[in-house]
Amino acid sequence: MSLFRRLKGLLGGTAAPSAAAPPSPQDRPTPGAAAEEKLLAPLLAALAHGGGAVAGLQAASTLLEVHREALRDLAATDPARAVTVLRRYLAEAPAHAPLLWILAQVYQESREIAAAMEIYQRLSQSESERAAACACVAALYEHHLGDSEQAVRCYQQAWLADMSREDCFAAALRLQEDRDENRAPPLLVLRLEQAPEGIALLHPIGRGGSGTVFLGQDQSLGRQVAVKFLHPHLRRDARAMETFLAEARLAASFNHPRILPIYDIDPAKGALVMAYLAHGSLADRLRAQVPIAPEAAWRCCAQVAEALSELHLRGVIHRDVKPANILFSAPGEAVLSDFGIAHFDEAAQVVGTRLYAPPELALHGRVDDDARRDNYALGLLLAEMLSGEAPPLHLELRAQWLAAAGTKVPEALAGLIAGLLQRLCAPDVSQRLRHTPALAQVLRQPLQAELTSALSGLS
């Protein structure tokens, strides 16, 4: 018996014949039926397992994993049949998003644009589906209806629903540039409600585990700023937002030349307005995998240590010291950013900091939350700058990498650098340097072998 007829029996209350019954000639698969089989088999299994049509449909979300290839075949061979089947199921569960997506794509494959548009717009009413649905509506306007103005608006809506969708931002930018006969500069200035008051967003400049950063223009003061928006799933998390606001306010309370200034906080939009530093990050410099001169690496570490010292004196731990969070206000002038902010998303913390986390995270699944955590990462930064290579995750390889980094300097300085790396990155946390202000005071002095004795006196 065909899959379609067996599904009809399950959904309509008619008993399906035994699976052992021999197929009649009219039940032998056709090319369209084979595609249908691939598309609908997971749904049949869920329905046959019990719980009724609605429960079966809710259990059939695995359709999303298999429907794309099957839809191409099914829509090409018998799209009307596909629509009939899907609408029958949706009569039982009209809000089932996976099946709505399938039906919309069948319509789109069949060039029934109005019907596809209606379903995508319906999906866009759901917060969880909004970004993807708006992107699909935009694509229909662009490629099928030729309405670039509406396409730009829908791409912007998709981007605003999920600011990690840089594809939608880029599409809106491209269309707006194509429509501009005067060929305006290639920046799409978005004057949108989602931007903090008085700020025009220009374009995305970075993305991390907790949010996306955009270049913005402060309309009142006429200066460029960096605007960080939390990812949507974090803005919807009350606990994450509470932590974000508390730590953002703490960050804004610092006034130090080595700490990135925060100008404003917009709790309703999950946004931070920060100073924009146009000289890139340490990550940009290290991306070339070229070692940095020992004197420059020493100076950079000294500047980061000054910032950490200010934090530690007030009982604040950065928790995410890494090259991407070391920015430059001018060539050779390092500024520490993102302290106390990136770590509030626990999942992002593990992903974002594991490479620069001390070994106890891998060994015991936890890290002592004190100054030694930041100082360990500072030692890894120094080794990475000297070697031009990122720290290995494997602890044995990391020990070898640290030892080798101490040899990347003139012989007269090798003892000083090796000793500093040993103190900052000791495998035993009790042997690591804890007192950051004293460390910063040593690092402020010009790089010279005579500092070895001063280093030995630190605790």
Q: From first to last of the 459 residues of the chain, give the pLDDT tens digit.
A: 444 444 444 444 433 333 333 333 333 334 444 544 555 555 545 444 444 444 444 444 444 444 545 555 655 677 777 787 677 667 766 777 777 887 888 788 778 888 888 888 888 888 778 888 888 888 888 888 888 888 888 887 887 777 667 778 778 777 766 665 444 333 344 444 467 888 888 777 877 767 778 888 898 899 999 998 887 777 778 888 888 888 888 888 999 999 999 999 988 888 899 999 999 999 999 987 788 999 999 999 999 999 999 999 988 888 889 999 999 999 999 999 986 554 544 443 443 457 888 888 777 777 777 899 999 999 999 999 999 999 988 888 999 999 999 888 999 999 999 999 999 999 999 999 989 999 999 999 998 888 887 777 777
Q: Is 320 a catalytic residue?
A: yes
**pLDDT at site 298:** 96
Element at 212 (helix H, strand E): strand 211-218
- CATH 1.10.510.10 domain range(s) in the chain: 282-456
**pLDDT at site 53:** 42
Distance of alpha carbon 124 from the chain centroid: 22
- CATH 1.25.40.10 domain range(s) in the chain: 3-179
Q: Which CATH class is domain 282-456?
A: mainly alpha
From the candidate CATH numbers 3.30.420.40, 1.10.3720.10, 3.30.420.270, 1.25.40.10, the one assigned to the domain spanning 3-179: 1.25.40.10
From the candidate CATH numbers 3.20.20.150, 3.40.50.1820, 3.40.710.10, 3.30.200.20, the one assigned to the domain spanning 199-275: 3.30.200.20
- Active-site pick, 320, 338, 345, 374: 320
The 3-state DSSP composition of the chain as helix, strand, coil percent (nearest 5) reads: 60, 10, 30
**pLDDT at site 104:** 84
Instruction: Identify the CA nearest to 346 among candidates 217, 228, 181, 234.
Output: 234
Q: What angle do CA 314, 315, 318 make, to 5 degrees?
A: 105
Give the Cα separation of 391 and 379 in Å (integer).
11
**pLDDT at site 93:** 64
- CATH 3.30.200.20 domain range(s) in the chain: 199-275
Is beta strand 211-218 parallel, antiparallel or unpaired with respect to 199-207? antiparallel
* Chain position carrying tokens 């809710």: 58
